[in-house]
């Protein structure tokens, strides 16, 4: 095959000419680099490798991390894990070998990624989310992802891409629900409820909301120290302070005093996560299983299914909270998810600890990138 025949077969002459014209229009000072990047973007993305490994989450318990390699680069994501799982929620696949991480190792889930999921995804376009999710659903065939494990499926690797997938045009920065006092399973005190949170709905921008949350958290530390001593400022798994209290009112009074000291009284609302187990609450009844929401009118496994759940909930005029788990990683995906789906709220623990701040800091970056187009949900978080 001659050079000309090769150029004609792959339409290289036209592609190179388009790249050169684009470089001229851009008046770039480095045309070679510009042309190289331009042509790279023109090539369709293809998954070439999927590699999983076992890492540790914020509690020191194993979870799954995945490196997804395409012809354009390598992308990394990890799956969080929770302490409580509703009976209808997607299940994590753990090995159960008491000799390895007390039965919590995830070698089987890792093997499922490296052998079954990898084989199914190689050659696919990583931007075709619904096709990727369907391929994994077809592999598992169980409603709760018990065959492959939700921790294997969720770790496959943002806000604009998710917005495109869901048909959203209003990219909204969520109101952060900051954990400030921890109890229940997440702390060693006598407080029955899981956590007390603050929501800076009166902020103008997410950046201001983060500042309000941080300042209130720091004032609360002083308030607790004054009343209970420094030992009262030990923190729970989600970063909230865990003074040895048993009364919800006592905890709320501490938070109210901290808010008073910040001067943000009219701009911050208080919320609680009860995490009740003695009666049928919506969390365990519904989770993010769209079939059970239909029956009644937070993650069954894949991004596509999550998008369907959020649409269904919003159609029913429900509020939606994008939430972390108590066993977290430094992965910031849920920040992009909350903006792309315009959920209006995000719950990612206290404004401290790296695995929690990773989400809040990513929202700062997104707001900065959106610039004048950034909208903070504020008091309209349900819409």
CATH number for position 238 = 3.20.20.120
Final residue of a domain: which of 100, 122, 156?
156
Indicate if 104 and 194 belong to the same structural domain.
no
Q: How far is 323 from 165, CA to CA, in rounded Å?
A: 20
Structural domain includes residue 161:
no
Do residues 69 and 48 touch, judged by C-beta distance below 8 A?
yes
CA distances from 333 to 8, 295, 340, 369 (A): 43, 29, 11, 16
Q: In this predicted structure, what is the pLDDT of residue 326? A: 79
Domain count within the chain: 3
Q: In this predicted structure, what is the pLDDT of residue 88? A: 46
Indicate if 34 and 76 belong to the same structural domain.
no
Indicate if 192 and 315 belong to the same structural domain.
yes
Q: In this predicted structure, what is the pLDDT of residue 291? A: 60
- Would the annotation count 283 as a binding residue? yes
Give, in degrees to the nearest 5, the angle at Cα 203 between 197 and 207. 90
Q: Which 8-state DSSP code applies to residue 287?
A: T
Indicate if 320 and 281 belong to the same structural domain.
yes
Indicate if 149 and 192 belong to the same structural domain.
no
What secondary structure does DSSP assign to 143-210, as a single string?
TT-TTT-HHHHTT---HHHHHHHHT----EEPEE-EEEEE-GGGSSSS--SSEEEEE-TT-SSHHHHH
Range of the domain at 20: 3-42
Structural domain includes residue 165:
no
Q: In this predicted structure, what is the pLDDT of residue 154? A: 46
Q: In this predicted structure, what is the pLDDT of residue 248? A: 92
Helix, strand and coil percent figures for the chain, each rounded to 5:
45, 15, 40
Structural domain includes residue 96:
yes
Indicate if 255 and 187 belong to the same structural domain.
yes
- Would the annotation count 18 as a binding residue? no
Q: How far is 38 from 46, CA to CA, in rounded Å?
A: 17
Structural domain includes residue 166:
no
Q: How far is 172 from 373, CA to CA, in rounded Å?
A: 9
pTM equals 0.69
User: Which stretch of DSSP H or E encloses residue 268?
Assistant: none
Q: How far is 66 from 262, CA to CA, in rounded Å?
A: 42
Instruction: List the chain pLDDT tens, one digit each, 383 residues.
Output: 888 888 788 788 888 888 888 889 989 999 889 888 888 777 778 889 988 888 887 777 888 888 888 887 778 888 777 655 554 455 567 888 888 878 888 889 889 889 888 888 888 887 777 787 787 777 766 555 555 555 554 444 478 878 888 887 788 999 999 999 998 887 878 888 889 999 999 999 999 999 999 999 999 999 999 999 998 899 888 899 999 888 999 999 999 999 999 999 999 999 998 876 544 575 555 555 666 555 444 445 577 888 888 888 888 888 889 998 878 888 888 999 999 999 999 999 998 888 898 899 889 889 988 999 999 999 888 76
Domain of 152, CATH number, reads: 3.30.390.10
């Amino acid at each position: 095959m001659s050079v000309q025949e090769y150029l004609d077969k792959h339409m290289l002459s036209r592609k190179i000419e388009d790249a050169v014209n684009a470089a001229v229009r851009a008046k770039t000072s480095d045309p070679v680099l510009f042309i190289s990047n331009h042509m790279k973007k023109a090539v369709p993305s293809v998954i070439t490798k999927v590699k999983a490994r076992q890492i540790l989450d914020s509690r020191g318990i194993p979870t799954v991390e995945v490196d997804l390699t395409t012809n354009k680069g390598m992308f990394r994501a990890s799956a969080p894990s929770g302490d409580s799982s509703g009976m209808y929620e997607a299940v994590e696949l753990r090995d159960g070998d008491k000799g390895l991480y007390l039965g919590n190792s995830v070698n089987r889930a890792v093997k499922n990624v490296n052998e079954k999921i990898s084989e199914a995804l190689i050659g696919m376009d990583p931007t075709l989310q619904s096709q990727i999710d369907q391929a994994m659903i077809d592999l598992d065939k169980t409603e709760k992802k018990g065959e492959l494990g939700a921790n294997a499926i969720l770790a496959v690797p943002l806000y604009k891409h998710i917005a495109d997938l869901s048909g959203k045009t209003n990219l909204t920065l969520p109101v952060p629900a900051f954990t400030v006092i921890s109890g229940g399973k997440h702390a060693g005190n006598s407080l029955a409820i899981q956590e007390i949170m603050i929501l800076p709905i009166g902020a103008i921008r997410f950046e201001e909301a983060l500042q309000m949350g941080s300042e209130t958290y720091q004032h609360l530390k002083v308030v607790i120290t004054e009343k209970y001593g420094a030992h009262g400022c030990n923190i729970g798994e989600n970063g909230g302070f865990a003074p040895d209290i048993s009364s919800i009112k006592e905890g709320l009074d501490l938070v109210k005093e901290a808010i008073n000291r910040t001067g943000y009284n009219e701009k911050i609302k208080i919320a609680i996560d009860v995490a009740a187990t003695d009666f049928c609450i919506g969390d365990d009844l519904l989770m993010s299983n769209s079939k059970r929401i239909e029956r009644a009118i937070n993650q069954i496994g894949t991004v596509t299914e999550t998008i369907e759940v959020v649409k269904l909930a919003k159609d029913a005029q429900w509020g939606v909270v994008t939430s972390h788990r108590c066993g977290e990683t430094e992965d910031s995906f849920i920040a992009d998810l909350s903006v792309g789906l315009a959920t209006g709220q995000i719950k990612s623990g206290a404004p401290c600890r790296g695995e929690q701040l990773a989400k809040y800091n990513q929202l700062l970056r997104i707001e900065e990138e959106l610039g004048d187009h950034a909208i903070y949900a504020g008091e309209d978080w349900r819409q």
